[in-house]
Amino acid sequence: MARTVVVLFVTTCASLVLSSASQYPRSRFKAAVYEHKVILPEPSYIPVSRQKALSLMYQNLAVYKTQTEAAGRQNVDILVFPEDGIYGMMFKIRRQVAPYLEYIPDPKQESWNPCTEPGRHANTEVQQYLSCLARNNTLYLVVNMGDKQPCSIKTDPGCPYDGQYQFNTNVVYGPTGTLIAKYHKENLFYETQFNKPKNVNYVHFETPFGRFGVFTCFDIMFREPPITLIERYGIGNVVFPTAWIDALPLLTSIQFHSSFAVKMGVNLLAANIHLPYTFHHGSGIYTPDTNAVYYYNWSVSSGGKLLISEIDVVSQAPRRFAISREDKTPHRMSSGTEFPSVLFHDVFNFVLLKGTRGSLSVCNNKLCCYLDFEKDGSGINNDVYAFGALDKLHTYSGHYYLQICTLIRCANSMKQSCGSPVSFTKTRFRYLRINGTFGTPYVFPAVLLTDGGQLKLAPKQWTFNDLVLESTRRFDFPLLSADLIGRMYDRDGDVNPFWVGR
């Protein structure tokens, strides 16, 4: 059976800005992200006053101040705080969030330092606070907050009933406190309090240690703006505020965010909020070579965490082009019977792993997945593993087309448990090799391990070349999953439907 293989060719794009780190004054920089245990407002359908909103935000900003000063003392160059970190994510009605918002000018049209010019725009207390944090600690500061932009119902047919657009927004301040970038989130996730921007924002900013792109949380699942931003604008480093909800076994925060960095060849500075009881947790500083510094603690009694790491500048991610060719390698038959089971609300085709080593395959629609494996033969346990394939439009909590090859630990010996979230296993693997007949070059690789229920990444223990994930040595901890998650952006159909408020 002939199968199609996607081959990647790596080249540089000379028309884009820079092609080597040596063209920047510095080749390394010290990055920091803070996972913040956000102080939430009291639940209320009645909008609070601006003063009460400020009182709540100042409590969170006081934590930001402590952490920014700690980062400054360690000579951090750039610090990222999470999405929804200043006032939480509890609002679903426009008027509830309105007291927490501020008018944020466009830095492309107006140069403004809120710390040194606090009187230029009224009711900008939060921006003044953040600007002074950046200025007083001489670092780049990335923060998520709310932006309100006035509009006229009479002249703008898209203007909301209350006469203002409301945006989920990232702001970036330079080391002197000047506002240098503003990004409006494109792909909203049940955020009915905010508006989708009329046009996609491709936001980036320059530093002495590289060019940085900006996007937020759910954006990372789509082509716009992340993929276009990276490929068109020569982005090698990304700041990524997020309020990520963990979704085992494929989409935990540290798992997918690290895989994005590896696949796209970028440094990804991902800051999450820390509310384990709502499954919001997991932050990291991820690099293209599978190295990572991360924090993942789902204990409800745990707190926030400042992560700091000195990493190499990536001046420009490589451009990737897909070329298809026919591979005459015979199709390998699976070593067991295929069966369906549900994983993250999608029905996968699975086959069970038998014995301690083997080669097998499984197909779904046009995707066939291939696995070579060898388990650690020491010890005896009842862990059951399955290898699965999915090729379809995912429609739960968003619309996006997926092609996935995944090796997972099943929850128990029942086939229907394969795909259920599980965080514990005893089985280590000596060798893995996974590939598939993907119809897209955008395939994101991940390996997720566990140490007594504590999730772990596997830096430097695997490689990803030509859409093949392959281990380089025995994994240090038992394996929960190994995945290739392909995104066929052109088959997403309608844009993400979970935004309203226009």
Residues marked as catalytic: 83, 185, 217
The tokens for 351 are 């086959």
Cα 154 from Cα 149, distance rounded (Å): 15
Cα 419 to Cα 341, 350, 410, 416, 449: the distances in Å are 7, 10, 6, 8, 16
Distance, C-alpha 297 to centroid of its chain: 17
Q: Is the dihedral of CA 142, 144, 146, 152 positive or negative?
A: positive
CB 64 within 8 A of CB 81: yes
CB 371 within 8 A of CB 387: yes
Cα 23 from Cα 25, distance rounded (Å): 7
The tokens for 103 are 């008018």
Cα 452 from Cα 293, distance rounded (Å): 20
Contacts of 233 (CB under 8 A, 6+ apart): 16, 17, 202, 204, 211, 213
Reading across the β-sheet that carries 164-173, which strands appear in turn?
A: 179-184, 164-173, 140-150, 78-80, 28-35, 305-312
The closest of 205, 163, 162 to 183, measured between CA atoms, is 205
In which residue are the tokens 């929804």 written? 84
What are the backbone dihedrals phi and psi of residue 369, each rounded to the nearest 5 degrees, phi first?
A: -115, 145
In which residue are the tokens 């494109």 written? 186
For the chain, how are helix, strand and coil distributed in percent, rounded to 5? 15, 40, 45
Distance, C-alpha 242 to centroid of its chain: 7
